[in-house]
């Protein structure tokens, strides 16, 4: 599995309240919610994002609330992958459970710039910045988690 | 090496004699929790996956607390969906308007959670129940759905940071000042993926409400859970309250901690976390030029009886400053009732404050106290992220009930 697209870059400690503000959580309709993805820190994101694009962020991405709506709206917008220096643990778990690919890679998160064209291979963990020509190796998922992803998410893996 | 308290509870629930940090385990659950925001997503997933029944109708708790009494039509539809699921599956711990409370104030109060439990909740502040000596952690809605169906969840066994407490808090400080001080020291990802284990002689000087508040905000340091040992204070709290028999786990004397941080409670001062991260802490006394428009006293962090007492002691017989809206939200119906019976509600109203029925409401910018552009609020809640309580250009300062109440009287951030 892989994705290829343009980079949207964000800082450290992006919290789930800015990914999807709670004032919209009176519905669980993913399409409706996705219209507001990132709007409190980046009003352009939903206008510009195209299928396969990649979010790149600093430390502790997805901190705060446990709302699964956060990875869900990022995925529903068409985002192909999130690369960060680290992820908050509930966001990490939720992303795996709903099938949003995420990779932890400090060097890639540091060096890749907004607007770069990147290609990400989830199976090998290789991140290629096609704009700069540099490649990065992210930590692949442990076998246990790969199994959940292969089966299409947590609930599918239980059947 | 021995195991921490968290590791021992996880091992017991995984049917293992020993676990080590990093180990992936499948553990048996004692309680699976959801609220009116996260349960609808879980119910959709539960149905989509084709599950027909829940693993145990007595071990699931569904609490309507974020947007109730329903703030709008969409919220009403979400509550209705939760109610329908609870009815269809005969969920015994379903809490609707009239008996609800803010989930993390309600479940300990009602004795639904107890020492030795392994708990997941589709709410990040589920880590609160570590105060009664349980392993308890926040998850998402898909984990909730899987937990309701199977009674099991997978975990990566966390490594631990020990917070060894000594001394006793000054009377103007409470658990909120302790946890804000710790988050200020280690940062919002200072305990990422780890357990925060509170130990030491200072533990016995902390009330249950202090401990619940401290564990509640473990997530604000990125932690998987926070946990206190079970002592006489815990036992007295659980006596006659808990519906299941408590099981007491103790850390091994040679338990392995990644590091140990000493906290002298007697040196704690009233602190405030400035926008827009809970780690931006400063002594309240240094912020006296910060003018405020609103005060919120409540939430799963500080909506308990001792918090109401702190507000009452400060506000009784006095007046909230002109131009300040003071909103007080008791955490459960029992706490609201106690506030009525003790005359607190009258005192709050006489002081110019308003009193709401229990709700998460303003804490997450839901309703009941939303901020306009440029407005500032000092709140006893748990997060001060951009836009958390309303407009993206508003600001939230996090503080204890004593500091928030003192600030309500002056209109500026004021140390108690």
Q: Chain A residue closest to B382 (CA)?
A: A64
Same domain, B91 and B190: yes
Query: Is the Cβ pair A60, B189 closer than 8 Å?
Result: yes
Record: contact B192-A88, CB cut-off 8 A: yes
Best CA proximity match to B261, nearest among B162, B186, B342, B335: B162
pLDDT at B198 over 90: yes
* Alpha carbon separation from B409 to B301, B318, B349, B405 (Å, rounded): 22, 7, 13, 7
For B318, what's the count of Cα atoms within 13 Å in the CB-facing half-sphere? 16
pLDDT mean across residues, chain B: 98
Same domain, B275 and B257: no
Unique residue bearing structure tokens 């500032």: B376
Choice among A155-159, B252-256, B357-361 with the minimum mean pLDDT: A155-159
Does residue B293 share a domain with residue B243?
A: no
User: Do B123 and A98 make contact, defined as CB atoms within 8 angstroms?
Assistant: no
Count Cβ atoms within 10 A of the Cβ of residue B282 and give its class: 0-12 exposed, 13-18 middle, 19 or more buried: middle
Mark out chain A residues that contact chain B at CB-CB < 8 A. 13, 15, 17-18, 21-23, 25-28, 40-41, 59-60, 63-69, 71-72, 86, 88-90, 93-94, 97-98, 142, 144, 153-156, 158-159
Shared domain for B373 and B404, answered yes or no, is yes
Mean pLDDT for the stretch of residues A47-73: 97
Quick check: A89 and B193 CB within 8 A? yes
Instruction: Answer yes or no: do B342 and B286 share one domain.
Output: yes
- Same domain for B257 and B393, yes or no, is no
CB atoms within 10 A of CB B255: 19
Residue A149 has pLDDT above 80, yes or no: no
Average pLDDT over residues B314-325: 98
Tell me if B203 is assigned to some domain: yes
For residues B300-308, give the mean pLDDT: 98
SS (H, E, C) chain B: CECCHHHHHHHHHHCCCCCCCCCEEEEECCEEEEECCCHHHHHHHHHHCCCCCCCCCCCEEEECCCCCCCCCHHHHHHHHHHHHHHHHCCCCEEECCCCCECHHHHHHHCCCCCCCCEEEECCHHHHHHHHHCCEEEECCHHHHHHHHHHCEEEEECCCEEEEEEECCCCCCCCHHHHHHHHHHHHCCCCCCCCEEEEECHHHHHCCHHHHHHHHHHHHHHCCCEEECCCCHHHHHHHCCCCCCCCCCCCCCCCECCCEEEEEEHHHCCCEEECCCCCCCEEEHHHHCCCECCEEEECHHHHCCHHHHHHHHHHHCCCCCCCCCEEEECCCEHHHHHHHHHCCHHHHHHHHCCEECCCCCHHHHCCCCCCECCCCEEEECCCCCCCCCCECCCCEEEECCHHHHHHHHHHCECCCC
**CATH code assigned at B370:** 3.30.499.10
Joined together, the tokens standing for residue B127 give 């880590």
Q: What is the pLDDT of residue B10?
A: 98
Domain annotation covers residue B391:
yes
Q: What is the pLDDT of residue B106?
A: 98
Kindly tell me if the per-residue pLDDT of B64 is higher than 80. Answer: yes
The verdict on B179 and B94 lying in the same domain is yes
Within 8 A of A156 by CB-CB distance, chain B residues are 49
pLDDT of residue B238: 98
Helix (H) or strand (E) holding A103: strand A102-104
Give mean pLDDT, residues B52-68: 97
A63:B189 CB<8 A: yes
User: How many domains does the structure of chain B reveal?
Assistant: 2
| Mean pLDDT (whole number) for B103-117 | 98
What is the model's pLDDT at position A153? 80
Q: What local confidence, expressed as pLDDT, does residue B326 receive?
A: 98
Mean pLDDT of the region B122-132: 98
Flag if B192 and A142 touch (Cβ within 8 Å). Answer: no
- Span B8-27, pLDDT tens digits: 999 999 999 999 999 999 99
Residues B252 and B291 in one domain: no
* Contact residues on chain B for A142, CB-CB shorter than 8 A: 24
Say if B85 falls within a structural domain. Answer: yes
Domain boundary among B214, B239, B264: B264
Same domain, B237 and B290: no
Residue B146 falls within a domain, yes or no? yes
Residue A146 confidence class, pLDDT cut points 50, 70, 90:
confident
pLDDT at residue B348 in the model: 98
Which among B142, B189, B388 is the nearest to A154, CB-wise? B142
Q: Could you say which of B214, B232, B264 is where a domain stops?
A: B264
pLDDT at A35 over 90: yes
Instruction: Identify all chain B residues contacting A22, using CB atoms and an 8 Å cutoff.
Output: 37, 66, 364-366, 388
Range of the domain at B275: 271-410
Chain A / chain B CB contacts < 8 angstroms: 131
Residue B416 lies in a domain: no
pLDDT at A151: 80
For residues B75 and B130, state if they share a domain.
yes
pLDDT at B88 over 80: yes
The percentage of residues in chain A with a pLDDT greater than 70, rounded to a whole number, is 100
pLDDT of residue A122: 84
Question: What is the model's pLDDT at position A143?
Answer: 78
Which domains does chain A carry? 2-150 (3.20.19.10)
What is the rounded average pLDDT of the residues B149-165?
A: 97
Average pLDDT over residues B118-128: 98
This complex has an ipTM of 0.94
pLDDT band of B346, cuts 50, 70, 90: very high
pLDDT above 80 for B30: yes
- Domain end among B209, B240, B264: B264
CA distances from A105 to A72, A83, A131, A136, A138 (A): 22, 7, 18, 8, 5
A102-129 residue pLDDT tens: 999 999 999 999 999 999 998 889 999 9
The 10 Å Cβ neighbour count of residue B233 is 18
pLDDT of residue A140: 78
For residues B64 and B212, state if they share a domain: yes
- What pLDDT is attached to residue A14? 97
Note whether B22 and B170 are same-domain residues. Answer: yes
Distance between CA atoms of B42 and B122, rounded to whole angstroms? 9
Mean pLDDT of A53-75: 97
Nearest CA in chain B to A66: B124
Give the residue on A whose Cα is nearest the Cα of B363.
A22
């Amino acid at each position: 599995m892989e994705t290829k697209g343009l980079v949207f870059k964000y800082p450290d400690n992006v919290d789930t309240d800015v990914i999807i503000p709670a004032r919209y959580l009176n519905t669980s309709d993913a399409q409706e919610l996705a219209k507001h993805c990132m709007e409190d820190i980046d009003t352009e994101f939903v206008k510009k994002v195209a299928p396969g694009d990649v979010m790149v962020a600093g430390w502790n991405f997805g901190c705060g609330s446990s709302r699964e709506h956060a990875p869900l709206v990022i995925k529903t917008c068409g985002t192909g992958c999130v690369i960060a220096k680290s992820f908050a643990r509930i966001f990490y778990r939720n992303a795996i459970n709903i099938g949003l690919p995420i990779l932890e890679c400090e060097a890639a998160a540091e060096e890749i710039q907004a607007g770069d064209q990147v290609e990400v291979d989830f199976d090998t963990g290789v991140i290629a910045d096609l704009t700069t020509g540099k490649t990065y190796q992210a930590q692949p998922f442990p076998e246990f988690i790969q199994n959940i992803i292969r089966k299409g998410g947590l609930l599918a893996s239980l059947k | 090496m021995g195991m921490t308290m968290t590791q021992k509870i996880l091992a017991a629930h995984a049917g293992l004699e020993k676990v080590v940090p990093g180990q992936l385990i499948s553990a048996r659950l004692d309680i699976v929790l959801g609220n009116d925001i996260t349960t609808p997503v879980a119910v959709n997933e539960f149905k989509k996956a084709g599950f027909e029944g829940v693993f145990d109708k007595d071990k699931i708790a569904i609490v309507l607390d974020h947007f109730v009494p329903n703030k709008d039509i969409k919220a009403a539809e979400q509550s209705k969906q939760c109610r329908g699921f609870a009815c269809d599956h005969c969920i015994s711990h379903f809490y609707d308007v009239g008996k609800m409370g803010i989930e993390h104030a309600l479940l300990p109060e009602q004795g639904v959670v107890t020492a030795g439990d392994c708990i997941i909740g589709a709410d990040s502040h589920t880590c609160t129940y570590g105060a009664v000596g349980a392993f308890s952690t926040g998850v998402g809605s898909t984990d909730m759905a899987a937990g309701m169906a199977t009674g099991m969840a997978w975990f990566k066994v966390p490594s631990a940071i020990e917070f060894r407490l000594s001394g006793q808090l000054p009377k103007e400080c409470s658990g909120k000042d302790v946890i804000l001080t710790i988050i200020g020291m280690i940062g919002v990802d200072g305990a990422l993926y780890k357990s925060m284990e509170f130990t030491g002689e200072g533990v016995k000087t902390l009330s249950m409400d202090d401990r619940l508040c401290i564990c509640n905000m473990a997530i604000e340091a990125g932690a998987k859970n926070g946990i206190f040992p079970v002592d006489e204070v815990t036992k007295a709290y659980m006596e006659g309250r808990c519906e299941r028999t408590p099981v007491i786990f103790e850390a091994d004397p040679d338990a392995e901690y990644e590091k140990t941080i000493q906290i002298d409670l007697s040196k704690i001062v009233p602190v405030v976390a400035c926008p827009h991260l809970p780690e931006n802490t400063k002594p309240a006394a240094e912020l006296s030029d910060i003018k405020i428009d609103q005060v919120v006293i409540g939430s799963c962090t500080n909506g308990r009886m001792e918090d109401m007492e702190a507000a009452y002691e400060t506000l009784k017989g006095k007046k909230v400053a002109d131009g300040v809206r003071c909103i007080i939200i008791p955490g459960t119906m029992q706490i609201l009732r106690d506030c009525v019976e003790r005359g607190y509600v009258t005192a709050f109203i006489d002081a110019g404050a308003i009193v709401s029925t229990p709700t998460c409401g303003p804490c997450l910018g839901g309703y009941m106290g939303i901020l306009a552009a440029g407005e500032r609020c000092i709140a006893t809640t748990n997060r001060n992220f951009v836009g958390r309580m309303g407009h993206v250009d508003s600001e939230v300062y996090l503080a204890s009930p004593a500091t928030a109440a003192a600030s309500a009287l002056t209109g500026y951030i004021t140390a108690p």
